[in-house]
Structure 1
């Protein structure tokens, strides 16, 4: 892989990566999707490939990340307040799926909620 590209984000679904790609391209940022064809042919190997990677050029990374941050929907608790990271106190967490058991791989909405802080990367369970 050419080292002038960096991974902005990776997604388990091709559609999510495509939405981000379209938004970034509308802002004039060139985007490449890595492993999208593999994911479309064999969607059950998402964990093995690391998902669909959204690649941008290094010089566009900060601008692309700002566009992505404006587009993201961060996790909310049951009262509608942003989930706060217990480590860094940031309110920019996303839902995280561990998918350890087969039933959670097939039905991820049954998995108990966990959150990953986009600032420090800490993973916490709901109510922690």
Structure 2
């Protein structure tokens, strides 16, 4: 039997987590990925993209996903990998899509989204949003 161990707003986040588990020898599965890819506005309503593993691998998989390997990334990038909030200098940032919820509401009312949304990062401490213009971030 499969158990959902994590939920993600975007399919690429689930793919990264799945690859991390599979690199450690744990077989993982992604549910609802194609539905969210076809209609991203359904992500919140469906509970996002689900990452699943077998019951026997639940504890080990959660331990692997909870490990913070950001120091390894910083080391590989020579210290250039840490982003800081422009407002409060915190490094507690998360990927965020601005305008996603209003677009979903307009979609429900009119059948098509009219708002443009922006991808970026949001500070978890002060709430400041910074739009990301390039693909490299």
Regarding TM over 0.5, the answer is: yes
**Secondary structure at the counterpart of residue 32 of structure 1:** strand
Post-superposition offset of 1:39: 1.1
Say if 2:21 and 2:61, in contact at 8 Å, map to a contact too: yes
| Number of residues of Structure 1 aligned to a counterpart in Structure 2 | 102
Moved over 6 A (4+): 94-98
Supply the distance in 2 between the matched residues of 1:105 and 1:11 (Cα, whole angstroms).
Answer: 21
C-alpha distance after superposition, 1:26-75 (max 9, x if no partner):
111111111011112212211121111001112211111111011576xx
CA RMSD of aligned residues (A): 3.4
1:106 to 104, 117, 121: 117
Alignment partner, residue 31 of structure 2: 34
TM-score where L is the length of structure 1: 0.59
Corresponding residue for residue 64 of structure 1: 61
Is the Cα–Cα contact under 8 Å of residues 90 and 123 in structure 2 kept in the other structure? Answer: no
Please tell me whether the aligned partners of residues 95 and 114 of structure 1 are also in contact (alpha carbons under 8 angstroms): no
Structure of higher CA gyration radius: 2
**Equivalents in 1 of 2:116, 2:17: separation in Å?**
24
Distance 2:50 2:20 in 1: 15
Structure 2 residues not aligned, in runs of 5+? 71-83, 104-113, 128-137
